């Protein structure tokens, strides 16, 4: 079994696009017509991330300070130092993995937790 896609709720497609494209370096892919707006991003192996512009039923929920103890999407990066540099330059707060491995946890502009590791 493989994961085909992960769906995340966002409140502003432009702001989300700046994070997923500008910081994470993802490229958008064609998206089917649905009755809501969104952005789809392609990952290696045919996997995707779907950003959906929908009302967020989790808005106002308190999130743990360390994203590794929360629902999250984990993505393998080619160069861990490059992604850390991009996050630092953008002023995006993250926590390093408590296991000591090359991994970090950050949040997108809507509070969706992303794990990035090498």
Q: What is the pLDDT of residues 38-62, one digit of tens each?
A: 999 999 999 999 999 999 888 888 8
Cα–Cα dist 101/118, whole Å: 8
- Phi and psi for 86 in degrees, rounded to 5? -60, -45
pLDDT recorded at residue 94: 96
Residue carrying the six token digits 């967020």: 56
If one compares 107 and 60, the residue with the highest pLDDT of the two is 107
CATH code of the domain in which 27 resides: 3.10.180.10
Average pLDDT score, the chain: 94
Q: Which helix (H) or strand (E) holds 39?
A: strand 38-42
CA atoms within 13 A on the CB side of 54: 13
pLDDT recorded at residue 63: 87
How many domains is the chain built from? Answer: 1
**What range does the domain containing 84 cover?**
5-55+64-117
Cα–Cα dist 97/114, whole Å: 12
**Which pairs from 21-29 meet CB under 8 Å and 24+ separation?**
22/90, 23/86, 23/87, 23/90, 23/92, 24/75, 24/83, 24/86, 24/114, 24/116, 25/86
3-33 pLDDT, tens digit each: 899 999 999 999 999 999 999 999 999 999 9
């Amino acid at each position: 079994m493989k994961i085909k896609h992960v769906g995340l709720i966002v409140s502003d497609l432009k702001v989300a696009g700046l994070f997923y494209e500008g910081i994470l370096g993802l490229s958008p892919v064609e998206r089917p017509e649905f009755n809501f707006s969104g952005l789809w991003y392609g990952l290696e192996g045919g996997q995707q991330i779907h950003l959906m512009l929908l009302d967020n039923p989790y808005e106002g929920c308190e999130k743990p300070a360390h994203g590794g103890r929360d629902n999250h999407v984990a993505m393998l990066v080619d160069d861990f130092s490059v992604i850390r540099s991009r996050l630092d330059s953008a002023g995006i707060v993250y926590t390093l993995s408590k296991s000591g491995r090359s991994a970090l946890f950050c949040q997108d502009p809507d509070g969706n937790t992303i794990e990035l590791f090498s």
